[in-house]
């Protein structure tokens, strides 16, 4: 019986694209930049629970 060819899944495609985009060259700089951004203070605005739920469920939130 012949072996079936393995079908590429979206997960495989994503891994391939990530490997092409995030090469070893510049890795240390990317990490340093990300850590710097993460160490900065976050937003100072406060939202109530209903607003968070609305924002999470609204499909067109990007259009606002």
Q: What are phi and psi of 63, to 5 degrees?
A: -85, -10
Q: Which two tokens stand for residue 23?
A: 């090469």
Task: List Cβ<8 Å contacts ≥24 apart for 43-49.
Answer: none
Distance, CA of 62 to CA of 25 (rounded, Å): 33
Q: Would the pLDDT of 62 be above 70? A: no
- pLDDT at residue 64, rounded to an integer: 55
Give the model's pLDDT for residue 29. Answer: 95
- For residue 63, name the pLDDT band (cuts at 50, 70, 90): low
At 12-48, the pLDDT tens digits run 999 999 999 999 999 999 999 999 988 888 877 788 9
**In Å, how far from its chain's centre is CA 45?**
23
Q: Measuring CA to CA, which residue among 64, 37, 42, 38 is closest to residue 51?
A: 64
């Amino acid at each position: 019986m012949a072996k079936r060819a393995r079908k590429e899944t979206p997960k495989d495609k994503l891994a391939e694209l990530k490997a092409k985009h995030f090469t070893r060259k510049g890795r240390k700089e990317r990490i340093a930049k990300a850590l710097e951004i993460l160490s900065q203070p976050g937003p100072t605005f406060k939202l109530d629970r209903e607003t968070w739920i609305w924002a999470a469920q609204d499909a067109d939130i990007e259009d606002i």
